[in-house]
Amino acid sequence: MLSSIEQFRENIARVRHLAGLTTAFAAMTTSAVDASDMLRAQLVLAVSALDHYVHEITRLGMLSIFDGTKTASSAFLRFRVSLNCLSSGQLLTRNEFDAEIRAQHSYLAFQ
């Protein structure tokens, strides 16, 4: 499994390849074909790569705090856990906490 920064670098490399593909595509077609949509896609993918990276380092940081290897921040202490996650009446496992982070952050954009 790739580390967060390695995954980010791989995603950005794909973004850069899209720029080369756009240039090659534009050179092979007439001016009737607009390649600017490919450049917009490149921008969207770059922002997405950054957002994914921030999600991953946030999740890993929260798991480090959960494991006791980092000191809890005020943001961590404000993190809410769903009642569904607590319904068993037992302490959360690391995997349950990881799933809760993913579920609660899944709709957020961090870029």
Residue 36 lies in a domain: yes
Task: Kindly state the DSSP code that residue 71 receives in the 8-state scheme.
Answer: P
Dihedral sign, Cα of residue 60, residue 66, residue 71, residue 73: positive
CA angle 20-5-53, nearest 5°?
A: 85
Number of compact structural domains in the chain: 1
Say if 22 falls within a structural domain: yes
Residue 15 is assigned to a structural domain of this protein: yes
Please write the tens of the pLDDT for every residue from 46-90.
Answer: 999 999 999 999 999 999 999 999 999 999 999 988 887 777 667
78 within some domain: yes
pLDDT digits (tens, 9 = 90+) for 2-48: 799 999 999 999 999 998 888 888 888 887 778 888 889 999 999 99
| Mean pLDDT computed over every residue of the chain | 89
Residue 110 located in a structural domain = no
pLDDT at 1: 58
Range of the domain at 36: 4-105
